[in-house]
Structure 1
């Protein structure tokens, strides 16, 4: 019978492998221009595919409900069916004459197939090594997500260039294998016995009492803290997602070589990996000196400042803001799950992190994506579908910097959970 330490290590390992496979979402800029050209899609149509993918990918609330009610393994089984089936359907649609909206609709399901295992892996491992190592565990798993994006971007270029349908088939098989391993080795969610010894550490790390509230749904939605964190996530992650999903079009509009896009995706993902690996463990190390929410606010402010570089950097130096944006988003992603858990408690972590992650389903797909497409189309010449010149995206980068400023203020205003919140009242709006 495996020892407890072996079980914990194996659970984190298979969770890390799953997130590595899910990181393929970051490789979208490696194939979306080829998909657009192959199917003769307009900018609005290919943007709809990306937005639908992101919307499904960050609709983690439904996966959180499933995890909290039926356990992580049920969520993994559902994810395997969703991800594998929808990727194979997408592969068939690429070689068919189906209208573009069918591919966009399919990618909502593909996104859900990414969301369910992500929340299951986090829920299974968030407390597996206790409070003092929570940031390190989240950093490792989040970092593997970014590493997956870098590796898959390279794999696509090396093995699947101009064969998007074969790539989708490959991803279906990859996620199926990762799901089977998670079904076999992923640990259960943290139980109540372990929760009793946990303490809230977001604002007051010296507090060793079991004061972490366990709130969710209606009570959670009536707290200012949730909405501050929601806006911080919406902008702090939504802006980098806008950059990542439009990298190929930014390069194209500035007269760059599209052959360099996979390298930019790789650079973004590697920098993102460094940010995720760095931020959560760093917040662990300064737990008794700097509250975690200040790390979050600083990371979002950094993302906002970097957007200005996209406007002033020449195309040959575009890698600089790309790398810095990737690093900034990695820092945000590395700290938000820990902040969520320590603000609102472990018992409903699946639902709560799912609710916070809905910000990502709103930020890029429903706000920044459509807005950038509208601004892009305003710059198009008569009878053209491709915008050329710095004006194509400059207004959007200015807006991105501004919304990050708002998000920074929201992150800075996060406050410690109160006794009233633990009793179900909360800091009301």
Structure 2
């Protein structure tokens, strides 16, 4: 039997065993992610060398004896490399990885800067100075875009999706500060004396090489975080779309308009900012420094709250784009509307423009990732910048003024045309935003009409809340019922909300004690006696006075019986206090997040399958069983499953992890079913001691230590969807009945969502080689063992709602557990053999083996101190 730990560990020895975060108690790869983020931040700062052209262009023109038109042509060449060719770094990043892309970017930077250092003004006349400089500027811009693209998107791939806003905020702030940093570096080199242009080029050469080598080194040791494997998809990553579908979508068309108009104009405005400020006597250095700081503030304002506002209706990425465009339009109106803008107006417009510019460029990377996924992210980003490369020279052509004119009003054609373009883009953004909110409204109404009503407040998938619930109730008022609504995080009933969904009965059965049975029997007896008395009165005519006295008899008996029952209930209380499962907030927040992400992924896959018409093939024609055709008018209803595994966990090992992975694959083979997570509940100390009464060699581990070592094994296996719970020693200690009933009740209330149903399946393992009679359980789904790891096929008509238990066949499991139990017993006796430690490392992982070894030594030390004479 191959140990599962050998299959789980796929990285190098250094990557697996020298994890500083794990040694300090943090999640795995924490410091490696931070180191990768820092190196990428240095990379995006290098892109500031391109954006500082407005500050350095005059000195470069004087150094090479160029005219203003020739300087603008060289800036266009640099933008051609930085924007028009930016799809090349994206394509290399998507296909060949980060290391190859950064090596190529560093080599291109060396070529561009070294040739420019050699290309002095007194070069031989037969060699074209403009041609050589154009080639150098193109290579320089092309190399800078490698640092920009890789530095922007590599951290977004390495960090989990819930940190997209925060990580993007760090990147965008450093990118905006890169303008200020590189500008101050240029002025510092200029103050040192000598040849400032040569010093600046030497500084660029050294910084490009140092940062490029650092990024390649960090990427090499963080390759496992950057690769797009199946493990990343299992953790709830967003579903991927084909490149053709992305390019043909309305979102890409809008993004292309945004890049051509707003962002293309922004690059031109940065180049013209120095000349505009000179018209009103304002220092370009002052405006550049303010631009960098306010630009960083704008990127922070759009990126930091994004992770918290995405779930609300008016908190998505398009809302931030609209706000940034609005601020940018105000800045252009300040320059375009007045007849003669003053220096104060120029400074005010610069503040608004920098804030809007920072907001736009800050929200673009997370917006692209949220909209298009990560598979073609670099390619899409590069294609959008091709539009910037095309339209930026067109915007620069409008920056013209007549001879003899002085003031910002001389550039009215430039400022007013840009204002019109920004207003058109602003209207397009509003149209896209309205279309998106209307789509959410229609989806919510469809869910209401189908009987799946969203909760009130921002907990719905679309963030619509109560108005859509009210619309659904108006559509079908005859089906209105009141169900308990839950608040996210605690699973407790807090108020009643109207719903069209039929109420479900709890699985737990209420046991009626003696007073309740007595009341029920008395009620049936009284009904029979009253019925018989009425029949007797109808058969024998009596006087009205006698009839009235006879009718009072059963009423007196009813009052006497009720008084007796009341005294019995007050004197002999038999109803036991209700027990309820209370889950950990962190555990169930993770499960809820996984359920939402997995359902979004599955829904998009099903939508793509329903819209695509595959060509008929022999395999499709020979398939006998097919799922029924989908009704396009109905929403795609899914089922989110939570696996429950109750085990001694003495201790939890890699065999259990492998068994849970097989159970998850078997459950997800059902149609429209996703697994939100697995909760492992260890036995209580009392139950484990009772189980080990007849087994002397067995060592019973403490409950807290079993929880710690199980968490270590899960982290070593990198299966974040498996979580631990201590309810056997907490809220459900000595609780009667099955834990599945308590667990199902809490899951239904905690994971309530209109987009999917919830189901709890209890997982059991069985060693088929040792069991004489295979276990037969009603409502069970058996997962047979396959040596090649294949998942058993499930009929497309099978329904997961009929399943309650998952039986996973694990051959030789008993032998493996006996080996682990014997090894722990030997280590606790002080017999630390090499073979015993190898077994622990294979079954528990390196951290788990060390944790168990330290506990055994501490246990032996306490035993010696207890026996030693005082």
TM-score for the superposition, normalised by structure 1 = 0.86
Q: Deviations over 1:371-395 (max 9, x none)?
A: 32xx34xx136xxxxx643343222
1:151 and 2:181 matched: yes
* 8 Å CA contact 1:139, 1:276 repeated in 2: yes
Uncovered stretches (5+) of structure 2, i.e. residues with no partner = 1-17, 21-28, 440-599, 613-870
Contact residue 398 and residue 413 of structure 2 kept, 8 A: no
Contact 2:177 2:293 in 1 (8 A): yes
Q: Alpha-carbon deviation of 1:280?
A: 1.2
- SS class of match (2:57): helix
Residue of 241, 262, 285 corresponding to 1:214: 241
Matched, 1:37 2:62: yes
Match in the other structure for 1:225: 251
Alignment partner of 1:2 is 2:19: yes
Change (3 A) 1:95 1:196: farther
How far off its partner does 1:222 sit? 1.9
**2:69 is equivalent to residue 47 of structure 1:** no
Cα distance in 2 between the residues matched to 1:250 and 1:34: 17
Cα distance between partner residues in 1 of 2:148 and 2:111? 17
- Quote the RMSD (CA, aligned, Å): 2.5
1:241 equivalenced with 2:274 (yes/no): no
**1:7-406 correspondence runs (5 A):** 7-58=32-83, 59-93=85-119, 95-97=121-123, 98-160=128-190, 163-186=196-219, 187-188=222-223, 189-192=226-229, 193-198=231-236, 210=238, 212-216=239-243, 218-252=244-278, 254-256=279-281, 260-289=283-312, 290-311=315-336, 312=338, 313-365=341-393, 367-372=394-399, 375-376=400-401, 379-380=402-403, 388-406=406-424
**Are the equivalent residues in 1 in contact too, given 2:256–2:387 (CA < 8 A)?**
yes
Structure 1 stretch displaced more, 406-415 or 63-72? 406-415
| 8 A Cα contact 2:324 2:355, kept in partner | no
Describe the superposition over 1:122-173 as per-residue Cα deviations: whole angstroms up to 9, x where unpaired: 3321132222210111110111011121021112112126722321221121
Distance 1:223 1:357 in 2: 17
1:214 alignment partner, SS class: coil
Q: 2:327 touches 2:355 (CA, 8 Å); kept in 1?
A: no
Q: Taking structure 1 as reference, are residues 12 and 423 closer, same or farther at Cα in structure 2, changes over 3 Å only?
A: farther
Between structures 1 and 2, the one with greater helix share: 1
What is the rounded CA distance, in whole Å, between the counterparts of 1:96 and 1:133 in structure 2?
53
| Aligned-pair CA distance for 1:424 | 11
Deviation at 1:184, TM superposition (A): 0.7
- Decide whether the 8 Å contact of 1:14 with 1:178 is kept in 2: yes
- The structural deviation recorded for 1:228 is 0.4
Q: Distance in 2 between matches of 1:420 and 1:244?
A: 45
Tell me, in whole angstroms, the C-alpha distance in 2 between the residues paired with 1:164 and 1:125: 34
Deviations 1:88-123 (A, max 9, x none): 322333534543343233212111101112222233
Question: Is the alpha carbon distance of 1:400 and 1:423 closer, same or farther for their aligned partners in structure 2, counting shifts above 3 Å?
Answer: farther
d(CA) in 1 for partners of 2:285, 2:214: 29
Q: Distance in 2 between matches of 1:390 and 1:273?
A: 26
Distance 2:101 2:176 in 1: 22
Q: Is the 8 A contact 1:154 1:262 kept in 2?
A: no
Counterparts of 2:375 and 2:37 in 1: how far apart (Å)? 19
CA distances 1:233-261 after superposition (whole Å, capped 9, x unpaired) = 22222222222111222123x1526xx21
Work out which structure has the larger RCO, using CA pairs closer than 8 Å and 6 or more positions apart in sequence: 1
Q: Distance in 1 between matches of 2:411 and 2:129?
A: 28
CA contact (8 A) 2:153 2:365 kept: no
Q: Compute the displacement of 1:71 (Å).
A: 0.5
How far residue 419 of structure 1 moved from its aligned partner, in angstroms, is: 6.1
Residues in 1 aligned to 2:609 and 2:82: alpha-carbon distance in whole angstroms: 33
Instruction: Compute the displacement of 1:317 (Å).
Output: 4.6
Cα–Cα, structure 1 residues 302 and 196, in superposed 2: closer, same or farther, change >3 Å? farther
Structure with bigger strand share is 2
Task: Show CA shifts across 1:74-94 (max 9, x none).
Answer: 000000011122123223335
Query: C-alpha separation between the residues in 2 aligned to 1:326 and 1:83?
Result: 28
Is the CA contact 2:63–2:121 (under 8 Å) kept in the aligned structure 1?
no
Q: Higher Cα Rg: structure 1 or 2?
A: 2
